[in-house]
Structure 1
Amino acid sequence: MSERPSGLKNPQGAVRGLGAATLSMEAIVLLLAIVPLSVLGGERKGLAIAVVSVGAVVAIALCGMMKRSWAWQAGSVLQVLLLLGGLLHWAVAAVGVIFGLAWLYALHVRRTILG
């Protein structure tokens, strides 16, 4: 019994687009988190803002590199680092959880479509 084709004309492009869209939304949310962190961040707000800013820059850079196979692993590392950023402020961990789940879904779709 053969697998059903995905029906997509360019499945690799569709999967890359999903990964890039996920990372670009994450970058936007991370950039929007800077102001609330600066107001409510507590004593470690400077480091939390730095982590969020670097995470946004990395996410934007990875958006353009989704053709490379290592970009998917780098995106996974980014999600783990944001979760660890929760040690600085709980809001960073919340973003890490939300986009970590979205990234897991993107990885699942990638595996389903590309095999």
Structure 2
Amino acid sequence: MTGPEERPGVADGPAGGPADEPRTGVEGSAGPGQRRSGLRNPERAVRGLGAGTLALEALVLLLAIQPIRVVGGHLSGAAIGAIVGLAVACVLLAGQMKRSWAWPAGTVLQGLLLLSGLLHWSLLVLGVMFALVWAYALHVRRVILG
């Protein structure tokens, strides 16, 4: 029996077999015109991206209350209520990312955060930042899932 060192031009692949042997399985399952993301479960990865984005948004919103009050001036009770309500909505929506309506609802949530900028200018700044992050998450979702 001859090894790979004795057979010029044939290299071992990652599974120990020759690299030029055809492989079967998930790697070759993309049909013509389909893009492979390289992920085992692209839907799950995208759901995780959306849920992580919303969870981070909720955390930032809740942690921003005190600095906004100290640095940004007076923060009304309505603005604090809007922040807490939006943070709760972010957490609830993060848990619902399997649902078909979750991504559009996340987009509406970003719009509500932008509208809360009418209560305090710093909420508008946070709204713009998270709207851009959400837009990027939607872009990644579109690229991965097609």
TM beyond 0.5: yes
Distance 1:48 1:109 in 2: 32
Distance 1:41 1:97 in 2: 20
Q: For the structure 1 residues 41 and 78, does the alpha-carbon distance in structure 2 shift closer, same or farther, using more than 3 Å as the test? A: farther
- Which of 73, 95, 106 aligns to 1:75? It is 106
Counterpart position of 2:63? 32
Matched AA of 1:67: K
Distance 1:91 1:25 in 2: 17
Retained in 2: the 8 A contact 1:37–1:45?
A: no
Report SS of the residue matched to 2:39.
coil
- Which of 10, 33, 44 aligns to 1:2? It is 33
1:17 aligns with 2:31: no
Greater shift, 31-40 or 84-93, is seen at: 31-40
| CA shift digits 1:57-84 (9 cap, x unpaired) | 0000011100001011111011001101
Structure with max Cα Rg: 2
* Structure 2 gaps, min length 5: 1-31
| CA shift digits 1:30-63 (9 cap, x unpaired) | 0011213344442x61111111000000000011
- Which of 62, 86, 92 aligns to 2:93? It is 62
Retained in 2: the 8 A contact 1:41–1:48?
A: no
Counterpart position of 2:124? 93
Tell me the matched-pair count.
Answer: 114
Percent of aligned positions with the same letter in both sequences?
A: 61
- Hey, which of these two has a bigger chunk of helix by percent? 1
Distance 1:5 1:36 in 2: 44
Asked which structure has the greater RCO (Cα within 8 Å, sep 6+), the reply is: 1
Matched AA of 2:102: A
- Which of 42, 49, 52 aligns to 2:83? It is 52
RMSD: 1.3
TM-score, normalisation: structure 2: 0.74
